[in-house]
Structure 1
Amino acid sequence: MLPQRVAQQSLRRLAVQQPLSLAKFASPAAVATGQYMQMRPTSSITNTSDPTKILAQQRLNRPVSPHLAIYRPQITWYGSALHRITGSVLSGGLYVFATAYLAAPLLGWHLESASIAAAFGALPVAAKFLFKFGVALPFTYHSFNGVRHLVWDLGKTLTNKQVIQTGWAVVGATVLSSLVLALL
Structure 2
Amino acid sequence: MAKAKRVNRPLSPHLQIYRWQIPMLTSILTRITGHALVAGVLLAVWWLVAAATSESYFAFVNGIATSWFGDLIFTGSLWAVWYHYLAGLRHLYYDAGKGLDIPTAEKLGWACIIGSVVLTVITILLVQ
Same fold (TM over 0.5): yes
**Superposition map of 1:22-33 within 5 A:** none
**Superposition map of 1:54-73 within 5 A:** 63-73=10-20
Deviation at 1:105, TM superposition (A): 0.7
What's the CA shift string for 1:85-142, capped at 9, x where partnerless?
101210343134325533651795227xxx95xx85xx7xxx6xx6564343222112
Aligned residues of 2:36 and 2:77 also touching (Cα < 8 A): no
What's the CA shift string for 1:65-97, capped at 9, x where partnerless?
122321110011110000111012103431343
The residue number in structure 2 matching 1:55 is: none
For 1:109, give the aligned amino acid. Answer: Y
The residue number in structure 1 matching 2:4 is: none
Q: Which runs of 4+ in 1 moved over 3 A?
A: 130-135
Q: Which runs of 5+ in 1 are unaligned?
A: 1-15, 17-61
Larger RCO: 1 or 2 (CA < 8 Å, sep 6+): 2
Deviation at 1:144, TM superposition (A): 0.7
1:156 to 98, 111, 119: 98
Equivalent pairs counted in the alignment come to 113
The residue number in structure 2 matching 1:141 is: 83
The residue number in structure 2 matching 1:102 is: 49
Deviation at 1:63, TM superposition (A): 4.6
Question: Which whole-Å CA distance do the structure 2 matches of 1:107 and 1:183 have between them?
Answer: 31
Aligned residues of 1:133 and 1:179 also touching (Cα < 8 A): no
Q: Which runs of 5+ in 2 are unaligned?
A: 2-8
Cα RMSD between the aligned structures?
3.3
Determine whether 1:81 maps to 2:28.
Answer: yes
Distance 1:176 1:100, change over 3 A: closer
Distance 1:163 1:102, change over 3 A: same
Identity of aligned residues (%): 35
TM-score by length of 1: 0.50
The residue number in structure 2 matching 1:32 is: none
